[in-house]
Amino acid sequence: MSRILDQRILLLVISFLTSLQSTKVLSEWKKCGDRECETAMSRVQATTDYLGPDCRYLNFRTGEEIMVYSKLSRKNENLWTGSKGKDFGYFPKDAVKVEEVFIAEEVEVLTKETDFLCLHGDTF
């Protein structure tokens, strides 16, 4: 009985740590094309295949087009946010090349905790 209880506690701890990781703030600030970050800033093309570490990231293959909506700034400038079809998530800016810029003047805004939740319904 004690062993079963120990296993359940361990599973509970693992579940808790996973949920903490899923809401980890990647940056306090982001740059967008507008204050609501609803306007596409640019269109980029993947220069390499990318498979993100968790459900907050956008996976893609070389050659796919992605619409960019925000760019993390200050603490973690390497990550951008964008969409490909119905999928939406973070990806490294070094994995893409800019094809077309829609908005040259960027607005810096504070991120929200909801910015770092799983963006497309997947789980860990």
For residue range 73-104, list pLDDT tens digits in order. 988 899 999 999 999 999 999 999 999 999 98
What is the average per-residue pLDDT within 99-120?
Answer: 85
Cα separation of 37 and 22, whole Å? 21
Asked: is 25-116 a CATH 2.30.30.40 domain? The reply is yes
Alpha-carbon distances, residue 46 vs 40, 66, 86 (angstroms): 17, 8, 17
Paired tokens of 119: 């963006």
- Mean pLDDT, the chain, as a whole number? 83
119 with 89: CB under 8 angstroms? yes
What is the average per-residue pLDDT within 20-38?
Answer: 81
